[in-house]
Amino acid sequence: MPDLTSVVEDIAADLSTRVERGQVASYIPMLAQVPIGQFGIAVTTAEGETITAGDAAVPFSIQSISKVFTLTLALGKIGDELWARVGKEPSGNAFNSIVQLEAERGIPRNPFINAGAIVVADAMLAGAQPREALGAILRFLRFVADDETITIDEAVARSEKETGFRNTALANYMRAFGVIQHNVEHALGVYFHQCAIAMTCRQLAMAGRYLAFSGRLSPSGPRVVAAERARRIAALMLTCGHYDGSGDFAFRVGLPGKSGVGGGILAIAPGKASVSVWSPGLDRHGNSVLGSLALERLAKAMRWSVF
């Protein structure tokens, strides 16, 4: 097996010279300002080591990657009842699409498209105010990442809200079907703020450990969630984590992964490692161009594909 540190360093060195990087998300003004020339990678292994290269210590907006953590928390809060309000199938549509909701009684296809994540945010409001729900999300992230410094970028949250016309439409539409059960503004408030959480590659790789190690922080470490829950979340990441680019990601990388329009991706090599990559340039589906390429190379070199 090749040496992981050299593989990670080679990938970072090679990608730093790439010219074709896609485009930074432009629909949220605060994200549009992020310089495109950055690339970071962090790999946390079963042995508890974290290997990093490039801009792995630079915080970025985790955006839709937050949907993995809120799903974990909402399942902990209301259990399998959640699946009555959100599906488990790939949508084949863009992350912010509304088209399927009318024919499907306001029930989003999966928890990782925006509509689904807003339902999950709504579930987080069961018996809690928005501030408490956000407090729970931050506490969970700080715990699983073993880092108390993780915070919400309020400027991004504001930018998100000011331009969130589609998300507002999705939430109101689902409220009309009774799928959203709390105040629409509250559900959106949680959603906009969770997307605006800022983390580094190192923090995100650490945070993904419980998904890589069957619900534990290391193969024999403290349990965070049941093994079955971790496995199911990883299954949804594989089938739905990259929206209408999920098939392509599975084909190329072969790992469960979740992308965000900030340019981050969290990928899980079951039993082996939790990996986070970040580069702000996106492809047409909203997935990081260099991030996907880095994961493709890493999975191939380490033979980590689940297939």
Instruction: Tell me which residues touch ligand DON (CB under 6 A).
Output: 63-64, 95-96, 114, 160, 167, 195, 259-261, 286
Supply the minimum distance, in Å, between the C-beta of residue 170 and ligand DON.
Answer: 9
State the Cα–Cα distance between residues 184 and 242, nearest whole angstrom.
26
The closest of 30, 25, 23, 24 to 162, measured between CA atoms, is 30
The reply to whether 287 sits in an annotated binding site is no
Q: How far is the CB of 277 from ligand DON (least distance, A)?
A: 14
Q: CB of 119: closest distance to ligand DON in angstroms? A: 13
Quick one: 50 or 64, whose CB is closer to ligand DON?
64
Catalytic residues: 64, 67, 191, 243, 261
Q: Report whether 243 belongs to an annotated binding site.
A: yes
CB of 234 to ligand DON, least distance (A): 18
> How close are the terminal C-alpha atoms of the chain, in Å?
18
- Taking the least distance from each CB to ligand DON, the nearer of 51 and 171 is 171
Strand partners, 52: 42
81 annotated binding-site participant: no
Residue 191, annotated as binding a ligand: yes
> Quick one: 224 or 290, whose CB is closer to ligand DON?
290
Q: Which two tokens stand for residue 286?
A: 């909203």
The DSSP-derived string for 189-241 is HHHHHHHTEEE-HHHHHHHTHHHHTTTBSSTTS-BSS-HHHHHHHHHHHHHHT
Q: Are 187 and 115 in contact (CB under 8 A)?
A: no
Q: Is 27 labelled as part of a ligand binding site?
A: no
Phi/psi of residue 256, nearest 5 degrees? -60, 135
- Measured from the CB atom, the residue of 134 and 224 that comes closer to ligand DON is 134
CA atoms within 13 A on the CB side of 50: 23
Residues annotated in the binding site, as ranges? 64, 114, 160, 167, 191, 243, 261
Residues annotated in the binding site for substrate, as ranges? 64, 114, 160, 167, 191, 243, 261
